[in-house]
Amino acid sequence: MYGIAEILDVLPHRYPFLLIDRVLEMTDTTVRAVKNVTVNEPYFTGHFPGRPVMPGVLVVEAMAQAGGFMLFSTIEDRENKLIYFTGIDGCRFRKPVLPGDQVVLEVEVITRRRTVAKLHGRALVDGELVCEAHLMSAMVERR
């Protein structure tokens, strides 16, 4: 298990855009992470007043950050790299994510080459699928 200190050491993301709170388990090809959703998230002010819903694109971003943690964990000079999204395929939103939910992010490597990867991500709340997508990424030099 990895806590927030290790996540901050690996990922370049910071508040308000760091969207994973803990990594529960990880192998070379899979990762399970958690995003605890609180009513204090800045996006709830406008999405939507009186009916707060976590934006779907941020659920996808949380899956991508979990995958990025897994990919970055094996890179020695990660402080000189960034991982960019290059594509999202087959994305489906099944249920809304609400304040108080704990989102479990499950991401697995489909293909991985030196600088590109294709991952499959799933987001679950209380064991129910809320979102899934294929995520493509490319690692680039940070400038």
Sheet of 116-125, strand order:
22-26, 30-36, 102-112, 116-125, 128-141, 81-93
For 45, the 3-state DSSP assignment is: helix
Task: Output the domain CATH number for residue 124.
Answer: 3.10.129.10
Structural domain count of the chain? 1
Which entry of 13, 47, 120, 134 is annotated as an active-site residue? 47
Domain extent at residue 113: 4-141
pLDDT, tens only, 65-88: 999 999 999 888 999 999 999 999
- Our answer to whether residue 47 is catalytic in this structure is yes
Task: Name the helix (H) or strand (E) containing 66.
Answer: helix 56-72
pLDDT, tens only, 37-69: 999 999 999 999 999 999 999 999 999 999 999
Write down the pTM of the prediction: 0.96
- Mean of the per-residue pLDDT values of the chain: 97
**β-sheet bridge partners, residue 136:** 87, 118
